[in-house]
Chains A and B, each alone.
Chain A
């Protein structure tokens, strides 16, 4: 049975678009119907391949937004000068098809056996794989303590807000460009002072996952190492535009 699962992971399969959910003005979650999906771990991603009528094709990677056992879904942020994301976030409709390969990546993943306490730090669309981790943690009944620090330009740009607000005791936002009046959360970039309030002490042997644009990830990783998190307990995933 393991052999069959490995084979499915290595090849491209046709996915049919199911429901699409507009998360924000520029971000959309796309559920995919994948009959041969072998299951996945929280934090993994999949590759998407789109083929045009003239045979031109483009491939991109997207973090899986759902936990194992839920319908496979990806969350895509529209980059105005992109080639694939404008198509996925504006043109794509339920019933459309694309090719998908995955799940991919065994390093940036978390399961209950990995323990904690967990510190999840997201920059913009970097929240996607971390939300999969939160969902998986919830579905598995794990009681590992978890905190999410989510950096976003504004409240309107926060993805999955309603869902994250369920976990309000464990989620902190920092808004870097604009804050609503009366805002009681953090403002500005993640810094030493913010982490002093949010990060588990190193003595508790926390496990950290940082995801977002490269400069964000590197700045935050450096701050955590300065707080004596061993490099082996800080996992990073850098996103780049396409």
Chain B
């Protein structure tokens, strides 16, 4: 089932070491901009596939290969992290 980027907050934390659900992603295919929290995410599978909610093209793929996170971000034209101070 399709979820959204909220569902991979922990995985993104593993990979980027900062909170990323509010990071702004720009789709390389259609140019749509929005927080990772609002992307369409497929989590049950050999890996996690993050797709643009507007055009469905693949933004990111994350696979756990021999205990390491393998991350492909080539579907993103840009990814902007907003720093938050508590």
Contacts and interface: CB of A to CB of B under 8 A. Distances in A.
B10 A214 contact: no
Contact of A108 (B2, B13, B21): B21
Question: Max chain A CB contacts within 10 Å: which of B10, B13, B84?
Answer: B10
A187 interface: no
Nearest to A107: B37
B35 A240 contact: no
B68 interface: no
A61 B85 contact: no
A10 B43 CA distance: 21
A183 to B, nearest CB: 31
A34 to B, nearest CB: 16
A236 interface: yes
Nearest to A38: B86
**Interface centre among A47, A105, A236, A238, by most B CB within 10 Å?**
A105
Contacts of B9: 45, 61, 104-105
A234 to B, nearest CB: 10
Chain B interface, >50% SS class: mixed
A105 B37 contact: yes
Interface residues on A, range: 20 to 34
Nearest to A102: B10
A105 B4 contact: no
Interface in B18-69: 18-19, 21-22, 35-38, 43
Interface string A146-167: 0000000000000000000000
Interface in A228-242: 235-241
A5 interface: yes
Given A105-B19, A106-B84, A107-B22, A238 B10 contact: no
B6 A107 contact: yes
B15 to A, nearest CB: 12
Contacts of B38: 107, 236
Nearest to A5: B86
Interface string B2-14: 1111110110010
Interface string A68-108: 00000000000000000000000000000000011011111
Contacts of B10: 47, 59, 61, 101-102, 104
10 contacts: A5-B86, A9-B19, A45-B9, A101-B10, A105-B9, A106-B19, A107-B22, A108-B37, A235-B37, A236-B4
Interface of A: 2, 5-6, 9-10, 38-39, 45, 47, 59, 61, 101-102, 104-108, 214, 235-241
